[in-house]
Amino acid sequence: MTKHDPALIGAALAGAERALNQAIRLAPTSHRELEGLVGTRLGMEISSFDLTLFVEIVTGPEVRLMNHCEAPTAAFVRGSIEDFASLATSDDPAAVLINSGIELEGSSASLITLQQVISRIEIDWEAPLVDALGDVVGHQIAETIRGIFRWGEGARISLTRQLSEYLLEEGKLTPPQTELDHFFDAVQSVSMRVERAQHKVAKLLAKAADRRTGQ
Amino acid sequence: MKEDIADNADDGTTDFGFTRVNREAKAHLVRDVFDSVASRYDLMNDLMSGGVHRFWKRFTIELSGVRPGQTVLDIAGGTGDLAAKFSRLVGSEGRVILADINAAMLEVGRDRLIDTGAAGNVDVVQADAQALPFEDNSIDCITIAFGLRNVTDKDMALRSMLRVLRPGGRLLVLEFSKPVSPLLGKIYDQYSFQILPAMGRWIAQDADSYRYLAESIRQHPDQETLLGMMANAGFVDSQYHNMTGGIVAVHQGFKA
């Protein structure tokens, strides 16, 4: 369990849970995908805030967010808030799990499915937070959450670009795309020539065999 | 051990807020208070706590670790907010018992459970926490939220809860407690004795009942004292979690 006040964490989780479930109800595809995960529990430790949270998919299907859970989890992930924001907004969560600072214990399958469902739905963070905490505080917290996700998306794009530049320019670890395309075209051309030559050789060998039998 | 001294006094009296009353009289006086506030109990809880009581209860439910098929007893369950949540968690195979000594509170709770669709796996029972009318070793989890301080003999109630719990079963006591910061304690005192009765007068037209609520909170054992009482009753692995700076604490104990 975290060292934070459980009531404070509970307030934040209640708002997030309501926003998520509202969005899931309005997204039939996500609804169907989550049905397959009912009963699954995931744990996450956000090192930036020294915070441990749990997600459980319950009948509905709905997402239940918890500050405390004693039941076994299918997967447990640890990372910074930036890592989790990148994971939440990524088109390729498996790659983020491998390449980011996230540590994973257990199976990644249910985590990836949940990430894909959540990344596709449009979550209105503001409405439940305003309902729970009032206009001023609710709006400010919703803005902060949106900022974290914008940062996560920006960080993902920036990381992809920087990684690409490093592999191509700094590390010279991989040739540029055009050079690779040219290389693959040349390989294909050679392959076709070899194939044609094989056919010609086969044809010549057949002719030679016919001549020998004719003599 | 302030509470022990209060309840074990030889003169046969106990506290009712800051007043000493006969032990027999306390139950009637508490009943009068809750008869008076029952219809507006939830509204007042929201106003008095700024809605935070929902998060205190949410954490208590998380701590319960209740699973489908289990039996949960919610003592002093009043208007049934915890019972409604437990009803979903235990599912159709499980059972939730909403118990309260006060008929008016139970009536509000039963109506609300029906309104929220929590039916089929919930029983409503008028019961005294000191003499629970259930079989030994029959309950997986017991919760008592903001109820223990109103019980005349808390030690007797804890022993009764231990009796009906299954071995390995869990008791959760959610109750007002002692703020950990002296500054917060002073602010809280001002709020409890000035603002709270005024709110009771304006909204529920009943300042006296809300003054009793504030006084009973101060008379309730603090975190460590209640932990000791649970150990004396026979609970093991007991611990507590402070919430909102110790204004509220949830105590947890198990039956060996």
Spell out a b/e string for A178-201, using b for 16 or more CB atoms within 10 Å of the CB, else e. eeeeeeeeeeeeeeeeeeeeeeee
**Contact between chains at A6 and B243 (C-beta distance less than 8 A):** yes
Chain B contact present for A86, CB below 8 A: no
Q: What are phi and psi of B97, to 5 degrees?
A: -115, 115
Which sequence spans correspond to the domains of chain A?
A: 6-169, 180-215
Please determine, for residue B128, whether its predicted confidence score (pLDDT) is greater than 70.
yes
Q: Distance between CA atoms of B164 and B73, rounded to whole angstroms?
A: 10
**Which of B112, B37, B44, B36 minimizes the C-alpha distance to B74?**
B112
Torsion over CA: B152, B156, B85, A4 (sign): positive
**Contact between chains at B55 and A10 (C-beta distance less than 8 A):** yes
pLDDT of residue A125: 66
Q: Distance between CA atoms of B192 and B215, rounded to whole angstroms?
A: 8
Calculate the CA B31 to chain-centre distance.
14
More confident residue, B198 or B166: B166
pLDDT of residue A8: 87
Burial of B256 (0-12, 13-18, 19+ CB in 10 A): exposed
Q: What are phi and psi of A56, to 5 degrees?
A: -130, 135
Q: If you ran DSSP here, which 8-state letter would residue B234 be given? A: T
- Tell me, what CATH number does B159's domain have? 3.40.50.150
B44-60 pLDDT tens trace: 677 777 778 889 999 99
Q: Class of A6-169 per CATH?
A: alpha beta
Spell out a b/e string for B95-134, using b for 16 or more CB atoms within 10 Å of the CB, else e. bbbbbbbbebbbbbbbebbeeeebeebbebeebbbbebeb
Whether B194 maps to a domain, the answer reads no
Query: Which residue in B54, B55, B141, B242 has the most chain A C-beta atoms within 10 A of its own C-beta, making it the best mutation to test that interface?
Result: B55
pLDDT of residue A32: 79
Whole-number average pLDDT of chain A: 82
Q: Distance between CA atoms of B122 and B225, rounded to whole angstroms?
A: 33
Strand partners, A76: A43, A105
**Radius of gyration for chain B, computed over Cα atoms and rounded to the nearest angstrom:** 17
Q: In angstroms, what separates the C-alpha of B24 from chain A's closest C-alpha?
A: 36
Of B63, B65, B244, the CB nearest to A7: B244
H helix count then E strand count, chain B: 11, 9
Structural tokens at position A102: 């996230």
User: What type of residue is A158?
Assistant: S
pLDDT of residue A37: 85
Whether B233 maps to a domain, the answer reads yes
Measured between beta carbons, which residues in chain A are less than 8 angstroms from residue B251? none
Please determine, for residue A180, whether its predicted confidence score (pLDDT) is greater than 50.
yes
Chain B contact present for A67, CB below 8 A: yes
**Contact between chains at B54 and A14 (C-beta distance less than 8 A):** yes
What number is the average pLDDT over the span A187-194? 92
Q: Kindly indicate the confidence band of residue A191, based on its pLDDT and cuts at 50, 70 and 90.
A: very high
Lowest-confidence pick of A107-111, A188-192, B87-91, B233-237: A107-111
B181-228 pLDDT tens trace: 989 988 988 888 888 778 777 876 777 777 777 788 888 899 999 999
Q: Report the domain count for chain B.
A: 1
Whether B41 maps to a domain, the answer reads yes
User: What type of residue is B242?
Assistant: N
pLDDT of residue A132: 66
Measured between beta carbons, which residues in chain A are less than 8 angstroms from residue B51? 132
Could you list the residue range(s) of the whole structural domain that residue B7 is in? 2-180+211-251
pLDDT of residue B118: 79
**Which of B77, B129, B128, B85 minimizes the C-alpha distance to B105?**
B77
- ipTM tops 0.95: no
Measured between beta carbons, which residues in chain B are less than 8 angstroms from residue A6? 55, 59, 241, 243
pLDDT of residue B2: 41
Please determine, for residue B37, whether its predicted confidence score (pLDDT) is greater than 70.
no
**Contact between chains at A11 and B248 (C-beta distance less than 8 A):** no
Whether B205 maps to a domain, the answer reads no
**Contact between chains at B55 and A68 (C-beta distance less than 8 A):** no
pLDDT of residue B1: 39
What number is the average pLDDT over the span B27-45? 70
More confident residue, B237 or A92: B237
Please determine, for residue A1, whether its predicted confidence score (pLDDT) is greater than 60.
no
Strands (E), A2-59: 41-46, 51-58
Q: Kindly indicate the confidence band of residue B232, based on its pLDDT and cuts at 50, 70 and 90.
A: very high
Lowest-confidence pick of A132-136, B77-81, B140-144: A132-136
Q: Distance between CA atoms of B174 and B197, rounded to whole angstroms?
A: 22
H helix count then E strand count, chain A: 8, 5
A115-167 pLDDT tens trace: 888 777 766 667 766 766 666 777 777 777 777 767 766 776 777 777 777 77
pLDDT of residue B20: 75
